[in-house]
C-alpha cells in the first residue's frame, strides 16, 4: 500500500485486501476441534517436563472414531491433534527420536496415533490438522538452534508427508529454556517454506502467517474483529510488544494481540504500515484445562457458555477451535460427549429455517446485473450484492411475505473481495409504517450472527452506515431460536 494516498484512495486499497484461497477454505470450516492428548493425560499435568517415561502412555480403550463422532455431533468440520506437546513425546513413531509411542506399551509399541486419528477423520469426513510444539523439553538438541531446527524440520516432514491432506499446522508461541540453558532461535521461515512445499493448502496458525490468535484462551472475541490488520501482527517475536520508539524520537503505540481494536480506520491509519489479511481464531477448552483431569469432570462448560463462545467466534468473523481432552482410556468423557451433542442439536435447531429465503428483497442501489440484491438470498457464497463503487452507505429491505417472529439475523460479506462493513443497523417496520431500530452492529466480515430479543415484523431493513469503498453482501439469514434471546 502507498501511504501517500489520499484518504479515499487509501481506504479503497484497504477495502481490497482479501484472503488467500487457503484462508478462505479454512474460514468456511467455522467450527473445529482441538485434541490435547499425551503423557500429560497420564501424569495429570498441563505441561510435561520432558522426563516422562514413555511406559506411562497406555490408553486402555482408545478410539479415534469416538472422537470424530463427538466432533461431528457438535457440527465441527475438522480436528487438530497435539502430535507433540511441549514435553516432546511424539504420538507417532518418529524416526528422529526414541521418545515416542513406539517406546510405550500402547498397542505393544506398534501404534501410530497420528495415523489412527488422520484415518478416522478421513472416514468421518472431517479435515485433519496437526499441532507440533516448537518448544521441546525432551529433545537434547533444543537450544542448539541449528541442530534443533533441522530436527524440527524432519518431524514436520514426517507429519506432512505420511498422513494425507492437512488443513492446518498450528504453531504455539511458547518458548522456554533448553536443557543446556540456551535459548532456541526458531527458523520460522524454513518451517513455513516446508509446509508450503508439502501441504500448500494448509493454513499456518498462531505463530504463522495465515491465522491470527484472538489474544486470549477464554473464548472472548472483540466486538469488531477485523481480518485486515497491520502487518506487524504477524511478527512472532514482537507479538507481545506494546510500543516502540520511532525515528523522530516519539513513542508510537503499536497494537498487539490483546488490544481491543486491531483494525478500525483510525488504528490502521495510525500504524502507517502494510495491511494484511490475517483473520482470527478463537481457541478455548471445553474444560478449564487443555489436558484431561478427572478433577474437572464437573467443570465441563455449559451449553449456554459454549453457545456464547460460538456466537462470538463464528458469529463474530472468527473461527471457533474448541478443545476436547480425551481421558486416560483414550476416550472423550461421557459428559463432554453429551454436551457436544446438545450443542450440535441446538445449532441445527436454531438455524433450521431461514425466513429470508421466502422474502422479496430490494436495495438502495445495485452496481450491475451481476450483483443483483437477490444474490443475498442464495446459498452461493461466490455471488453477492453491492452498490456502485464509492458508495459507502446503502440499505437492503426484506419483505418476508408474512409477519414473522425472529431473534437471530445472519449477515455475510463477500470476503473474497475484502472486508468492508464498519457499522450497520437492523430495523423493522412498525404497524404504523414507520421504521424502528432493534440492533446496531459494527463489522460483519465472513459472518456476523446478530442475537437480540425476539421481535415480530413482516419487513426488515439492513442499513449500512459506514463501510470501506462499497459494502458487499453474499448472504442474509433470519431465524427464530427455540430458546428465545440469550
Ligand atoms: C498454549 C500451551 O502452552 C498450552 O498447553 C496449550 O497447548 C494451548 C493451546 O497453547 O500456549
Residue 243 is predicted with a pLDDT of 33
The residue whose C-alpha atom lies closest to atom 4 belonging to ligand 1 is: 290
- Tell me: pLDDT of 2 over 70: no
Residue 372 is predicted with a pLDDT of 93
Q: In whole numbers, what is the pLDDT of the chain averaged over residues?
A: 93
The residue whose C-alpha atom lies closest to atom 6 belonging to ligand 1 is: 290
216 pocket-lining for ligand 1 (C-beta < 6 Å): no
Mean pLDDT value across residues 14-26: 97
Per CATH, which fold does 7-350 belong to?
TIM Barrel (3.20.20)
Residue 486 is predicted with a pLDDT of 45
Q: What is the Å distance from ligand 1's center to 372 Cα?
A: 46
Residue 485 is predicted with a pLDDT of 43
Atom of ligand 1 nearest to the CA of 133: 7
247 vs 89: CA distance, rounded Å: 46
Q: What is the Å distance from ligand 1's center to 201 Cα?
A: 24
Residue 322 is predicted with a pLDDT of 98
Residue 404 is predicted with a pLDDT of 96
Residue 378 is predicted with a pLDDT of 87
Mean pLDDT value across residues 30-54: 97
Mean pLDDT value across residues 319-333: 98
Atom of ligand 1 nearest to the CA of 47: 5
With a CB cutoff of 8 Å and minimum separation 6, the contacts of 369 are none
Residue 367 is predicted with a pLDDT of 94
Atom of ligand 1 nearest to the CA of 172: 11
Q: What is the Å distance from ligand 1's center to 331 Cα?
A: 21
Residue 271 has φ and ψ, to the nearest 5°, of -75, -25
Comparing 180 with 454, which gets the higher pLDDT?
454
290 pocket-lining for ligand 1 (C-beta < 6 Å): yes
Predicted confidence band of residue 245 (pLDDT cuts 50, 70, 90)? very low
Residue 182 is predicted with a pLDDT of 64
- Tell me: pLDDT of 130 over 50: yes
Atom of ligand 1 nearest to the CA of 34: 9
List alpha helices for 219-354, DSSP H: 265-271, 303-313, 334-350
DSSP 389-427: TT---EEEEEEEEEEEEEEEEEEE--GGG---EEEEEEE
Single pTM value for the model: 0.95
172 pocket-lining for ligand 1 (C-beta < 6 Å): yes
Q: Report which of 423, 361, 415 is spatially closest to residue 392, judged by C-alpha positions.
A: 423
Q: Report which of 437, 442, 436, 439 is spatially closest to residue 465, judged by C-alpha positions.
A: 442
- Tell me: pLDDT of 100 over 70: yes
Comparing 397 with 252, which gets the higher pLDDT?
397
135 pocket-lining for ligand 1 (C-beta < 6 Å): no
Contact 233, 262 (CB under 8 A): yes
- Tell me: pLDDT of 250 over 60: no
Mean pLDDT value across residues 313-326: 98
Q: What is the Å distance from ligand 1's center to 146 Cα?
A: 24
Contact 152, 146 (CB under 8 A): no
The residue whose C-alpha atom lies closest to atom 3 belonging to ligand 1 is: 174
**Sequence ranges of the domains in the chain:** 7-350, 355-479
The residue whose C-alpha atom lies closest to atom 10 belonging to ligand 1 is: 172
Residue 343 is predicted with a pLDDT of 98
Q: What is the Å distance from ligand 1's center to 133 Cα?
A: 9
The residue whose C-alpha atom lies closest to atom 1 belonging to ligand 1 is: 172
Place of cell 442475537: 451
Atom of ligand 1 nearest to the CA of 131: 7
Q: Which CATH architecture has domain 355-479?
A: Sandwich (2.60)
Q: What is the Å distance from ligand 1's center to 297 Cα?
A: 20
Which range is least confidently modeled, 105-109, 231-235, 361-365, 419-423?
A: 231-235
With a CB cutoff of 8 Å and minimum separation 6, the contacts of 162 are 92, 114, 115
pLDDT tens digit sequence for 386-415: 999 999 999 999 999 999 999 999 999 999
174 pocket-lining for ligand 1 (C-beta < 6 Å): yes
Residue 242 is predicted with a pLDDT of 33
Mean pLDDT value across residues 231-249: 55
Residue 273 is predicted with a pLDDT of 85
469 pocket-lining for ligand 1 (C-beta < 6 Å): no
Amino acid at each position: 500500500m502507498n501511504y501517500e494516498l489520499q484518504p479515499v484512495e487509501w481506504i479503497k486499497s484497504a477495502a481490497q485486501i482479501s484472503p488467500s484461497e487457503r484462508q478462505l477454505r479454512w474460514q468456511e470450516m467455522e467450527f473445529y476441534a482441538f485434541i490435547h492428548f499425551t503423557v500429560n493425560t497420564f501424569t495429570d499435568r498441563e505441561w510435561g517436563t520432558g522426563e516422562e517415561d514413555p511406559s506411562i502412555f497406555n490408553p486402555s480403550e482408545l478410539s479415534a472414531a469416538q472422537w470424530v463422532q463427538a466432533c461431528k455431533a457438535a457440527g465441527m468440520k475438522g480436528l487438530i491433534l497435539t502430535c507433540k506437546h511441549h514435553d516432546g513425546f511424539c504420538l507417532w513413531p518418529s524416526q528422529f527420536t526414541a521418545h515416542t509411542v513406539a517406546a510405550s506399551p500402547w498397542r505393544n509399541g506398534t501404534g501410530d496415533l497420528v495415523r489412527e486419528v488422520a484415518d478416522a477423520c478421513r472416514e468421518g469426513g472431517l479435515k485433519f490438522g496437526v499441532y507440533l510444539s516448537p518448544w521441546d523439553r525432551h529433545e537434547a538438541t533444543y537450544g542448539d538452534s541449528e541442530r534443533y531446527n533441522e530436527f524440527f524440520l524432519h518431524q514436520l516432514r514426517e507429519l506432512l508427508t505420511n498422513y494425507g491432506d492437512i488443513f492446518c499446522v498450528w504453531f504455539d508461541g511458547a518458548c522456554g529454556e533448553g536443557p543446556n540453558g540456551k535459548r532456541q532461535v526458531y527458523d520460522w521461515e524454513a518451517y513455513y517454506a516446508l509446509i508450503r512445499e508439502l501441504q500448500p493448502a494448509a493454513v499456518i496458525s498462531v505463530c504463522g502467517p495465515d491465522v491470527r490468535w484472538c489474544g486470549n484462551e477464554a473464548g472472548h472475541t472483540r466486538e469488531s474483529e477485523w481480518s485486515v490488520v497491520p502487518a506487524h501482527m504477524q511478527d512472532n517475536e514482537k507479538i507481545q510488544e506494546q510500543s516502540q520508539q520511532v525515528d523522530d524520537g516519539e513513542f508510537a503505540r503499536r497494537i498487539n494481540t490483546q488490544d481491543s481494536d486491531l483494525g478500525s480506520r483510525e488504528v490502521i491509519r495510525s500504524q502507517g504500515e502494510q495491511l494484511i489479511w490475517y483473520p482470527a481464531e478463537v481457541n478455548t477448552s471445553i474444560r478449564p484445562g487443555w489436558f484431561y483431569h478427572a478433577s474437572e469432570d464437573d467443570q465441563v462448560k455449559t451449553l449456554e457458555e459454549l453457545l456464547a463462545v460460538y456466537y462470538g467466534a463464528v458469529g463474530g468473523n472468527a473461527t471457533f477451535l474448541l478443545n476436547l481432552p480425551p481421558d486416560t482410556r483414550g476416550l472423550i468423557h461421557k459428559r463432554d460427549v453429551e454436551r457436544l451433542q446438545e450443542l450440535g442439536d441446538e445449532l441445527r435447531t436454531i438455524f433450521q429455517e431461514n425466513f429470508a429465503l421466502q422474502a422479496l428483497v430490494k436495495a438502495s442501489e445495485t452496481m450491475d446485473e451481476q450483483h443483483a440484491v437477490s444474490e443475498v438470498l442464495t446459498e452461493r457464497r461466490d455471488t453477492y450484492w453491492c452498490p456502485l463503487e464509492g458508495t459507502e452507505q446503502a440499505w437492503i429491505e426484506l419483505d418476508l411475505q408474512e409477519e414473522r417472529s425472529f431473534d437471530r439475523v445472519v449477515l455475510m460479506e463477500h470476503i473474497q473481495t475484502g472486508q468492508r462493513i464498519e457499522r450497520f443497523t437492523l430495523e423493522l417496520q412498525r404497524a404504523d409504517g414507520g421504521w424502528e431500530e432493534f440492533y446496531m452492529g459494527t463489522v460483519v466480515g465472513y459472518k456476523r450472527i446478530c442475537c437480540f430479543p425476539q421481535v415480530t415484523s413482516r419487513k426488515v431493513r439492513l442499513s449500512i452506515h459506514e463501510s470501506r469503498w462499497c459494502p458487499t453482501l453474499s448472504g442474509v439469514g433470519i431465524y427464530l431460536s427455540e430458546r428465545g434471546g440469550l
